[in-house]
């Protein structure tokens, strides 16, 4: 079992930046690749970024590439998503997930999820 707790969400003006964190506990965190997804009101949950268990392999959605940076600190059992140049379209609940096998772009393949943290970007 892995417990995931997101934090760091909040209200930010367009053009601003924000870092959200996901703290893990339970089974060995470093055994899992980690992903960030987001869900805006009335929309499906969508992939944002993912990072392999050692941080060697990283992938981003087109909407995140060049603006967001995913990273992890296995000593702290934490994964981060640093977001820059935020716009109203980035408003969503941001979720982190843990995956060992499967397609990191597909939420159905993730074994564990956090409860989410709200990010709101004002125009």
Average pLDDT, the chain: 96
> What is the pLDDT averaged over residues 75-88?
97
Q: pLDDT-derived band of residue 46, with 50, 70 and 90 as boundaries? A: very high
pLDDT of residue 26: 80
pLDDT of residue 28: 83
Query: With b meaning 16 or more CB within 10 Å and e meaning fewer, what string describes 42-75?
Result: eeebebbbbbebebeeebbbeebeeebbbebeee
Give the tokens for residue 94.
């941001």
Return all residues near 95 (Cβ < 8 A) that are at least 6 apart: 6, 36, 37, 38, 39, 45, 113, 114, 115, 116
């Amino acid at each position: 079992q892995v417990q995931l707790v997101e934090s760091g969400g909040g209200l930010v003006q367009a053009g601003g930046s924000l870092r959200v964190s996901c703290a893990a506990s339970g089974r060995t965190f470093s055994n899992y690749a980690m992903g960030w997804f987001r869900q805006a009101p009335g929309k499906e949950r969508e992939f944002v970024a993912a990072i392999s268990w050692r941080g060697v392999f990283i992938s981003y959605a087109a909407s995140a590439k060049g603006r967001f940076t995913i990273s992890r600190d296995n000593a702290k059992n934490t994964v981060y998503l640093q977001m820059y140049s935020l716009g109203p379209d980035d408003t969503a609940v941001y979720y982190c997930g843990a995956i060992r096998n499967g397609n990191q772009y597909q939420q159905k393949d993730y074994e564990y999820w956090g409860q989410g943290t709200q990010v709101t970007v004002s125009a």
